[in-house]
Amino acid sequence: MKKMRFIHLSAMLLAVMLTSACLETLNENEVDAERHYSNFNDADNAILGIYGKLMGLAERVIILNELRADLMDITPNATADMTAICTHTATAENEYCNLAPFYEVILNCNDVLANMTKMRAENKLSRADYEYRYSDVLTVRCWVYLQLAIHFGSIPYVTDPLAEVKDLEKLENFPTKPFGEILRELTACMEAIPVKTLSVTSPFYGSVADGYNMDMLFLNKKLVLADLLLWTGSYLKAAEYYYSVVEEAEMQQFSGSENYAYKVDGYVWDGTNEPRFQVCYVRYKGADLSSYRNKWKEIFSRASTNSELRREMITLWCYDPKFAPQYPLVEIFANTGKGKYRLKPSQWAIDSLWEAQVQRENSFVFDGRGRQASFDFVNGQPVVIKYLYDYYPQATDNNRTIYLEYGGLQNEYAQPGKWFVYRAGLLHLRYAEAANREGYPDLAYALINDGIRDHFDWTMDDASSKRTDKSGVQYSGYPPASDSVKSAPFPPPFYLDGRFNDAPFEYLRSPWRDSYGIRRRAWVQNVEKPDHVLEKQDSIRWMEEVILREAALECGFEGHRWGDLLRIAMRMNSEGRDGTKFLNDQLAKAKPGTPPLSPETWFLPKRWQTDEP
CB 112 within 8 A of CB 137: yes
Q: Is 363 left (phi over 0), alpha (psi -120 to 50) or beta?
A: left
Q: CA 587: distance to chain centroid?
A: 22
Distance, in Å, from the CA atom of 228 to the CA atom of 234, rounded to the nearest integer, reads 9
Q: What pLDDT does residue 460 have?
A: 59
109 neighbors 140 (Cβ within 8 angstroms) = yes
Question: What does the pLDDT read at residue 21?
Answer: 38
Distance CA 402, CA 425 (A): 20
Between residues 200 and 291, the one the model is more confident about: 291
Write down the pLDDT at residue 34. 57
430 confidence band (pLDDT: 50, 70, 90): very high
In DSSP terms, 318 is beta-bridged to: 418
End-to-end CA distance of the chain: 52
CA distance 430 to 564: 10
Poorest-pLDDT segment among 284-293, 466-475, 591-600: 466-475
Report whether pLDDT(11) > 70: no
pLDDT of amino acid 171: 65
Please say if the pLDDT value at position 574 is more than 90.
yes
Residue 90 has pLDDT above 90, yes or no: yes
Are residues 313 and 423 in contact, defined by beta-carbon separation less than 8 angstroms? yes
How far apart CA 42 and CA 314 sit, in angstroms, is 26
- 575-607 residue pLDDT tens: 999 999 999 999 999 999 889 999 999 999 998
Strands 176-177 and 343-345 turn out to be: unpaired
pTM given for the model: 0.94
Q: Where are the domains of the chain?
A: 5-214, 279-299+317-423, 451-515
Backbone φ, ψ for residue 508 (5° rounding)? -140, 135
CA–CA distance, 24 with 15 (Å, rounded to integer): 14
- The angle subtended at Cα 393 by Cα 365 and Cα 265, nearest 5°, is 50
- As a whole number of angstroms, the distance between CA 362 and CA 344 comes to 30
Average pLDDT score over residue span 423-446 = 98
Sign of dihedral through CA atoms 244, 248, 251, 254? negative
Q: Judging by beta carbons within 10 Å of its beta carbon (0-12, 13-18, 19+), is residue 609 exposed, middle or buried?
A: middle
- The answer for residues whose C-beta is within 8 angstroms of residue 400's C-beta and 6 or more apart is 293
Residue 3 has pLDDT above 50, yes or no: no
The Cα-based distances of 248 to 34, 112, 143, 420, 500 in angstroms read: 37, 28, 21, 21, 22
pLDDT at 466: 64
Q: Measure the CA–CA gap between 136 and 526, rounded to whole angstroms.
A: 39
Is pLDDT of 367 > 70? yes
Provide the pLDDT for residue 592.
Answer: 92
Q: Are 259 and 276 in contact (CB under 8 A)?
A: no
- Over residues 492-513, the pLDDT tens digits come to 999 999 999 888 888 999 999 9
Residue 516 pLDDT: 96
pLDDT for the residue 26? 33
Cβ neighbours of residue 272 closer than 8 Å, sequence gap 6 or more: none
Q: What is the pLDDT of residue 199?
A: 75
Instruction: Report the amino acid identity of residue 37.
Output: Y
CB 259 within 8 A of CB 1: no
Taking the C-alpha atoms of residue 383 and residue 336, their distance in angstroms, rounded to an integer, is 10
d(CA 152, CA 602): 8
Query: At a CB cut-off of 8 Å and minimum separation 6, what does 574 contact?
Result: 233
| Residues 155, 176 contacting (CB under 8 angstroms) | yes
Tally of CB atoms within 10 A around 76: 7
Nearest-angstrom CA–CA distance, 481 and 227? 36
CA within 13 Å, CB half, 94: 22
The mean pLDDT value for 95-115 works out to 94
Stretch 378-394: mean pLDDT: 97
Q: 29-68 pLDDT, tens per residue?
A: 333 455 578 888 899 999 999 999 999 999 999 999 999 9
d(CA 318, CA 334): 18
The runs of H, that is alpha helices, within 391-535 are 424-437, 441-448, 451-455, 518-521
Instruction: Check residue 503 and give its pLDDT.
Output: 83
pLDDT at 83 over 80: yes
Which of the two residues, 13 and 519, has the higher pLDDT score?
519
**Alpha-helical runs (H) found in 253-346:** 329-333
Q: Give the confidence band of 407 by pLDDT, cuts at 50, 70, 90.
A: very high
Amino acid at 34: E
Fold observed for domain 5-214: 1.25.40
Question: pLDDT tens across 167-217, in order?
Answer: 767 666 778 899 999 999 999 999 999 999 987 777 788 888 878 888 899
pLDDT at position 198: 80
Residue with the bigger pLDDT between 581 and 471: it is: 581
- Mean predicted lDDT score pLDDT of the chain: 90
Residue 515 in this model has a pLDDT that exceeds 80? yes
Contact 267, 516 (CB under 8 A): no
- What band does 463 get if pLDDT is binned at 50, 70 and 90? low
**DSSP classification of residue 341:** -
Q: For residues 225-235, give the mean pLDDT.
A: 98
Q: Give the Cα separation of 132 and 126 in Å (integer).
A: 11
The mean pLDDT value for 371-376 works out to: 98
Q: Which of 154-163, 362-371, 416-425, 478-487 has the lowest mean pLDDT?
A: 478-487
Rounded Cα gap, residues 183 and 175, in angstroms: 16
Nearest to 434 by CA among 512, 521, 520, 493: 493
- Residue 288's pLDDT band (boundaries 50, 70, 90)? confident
Contact 311, 253 (CB under 8 A): no
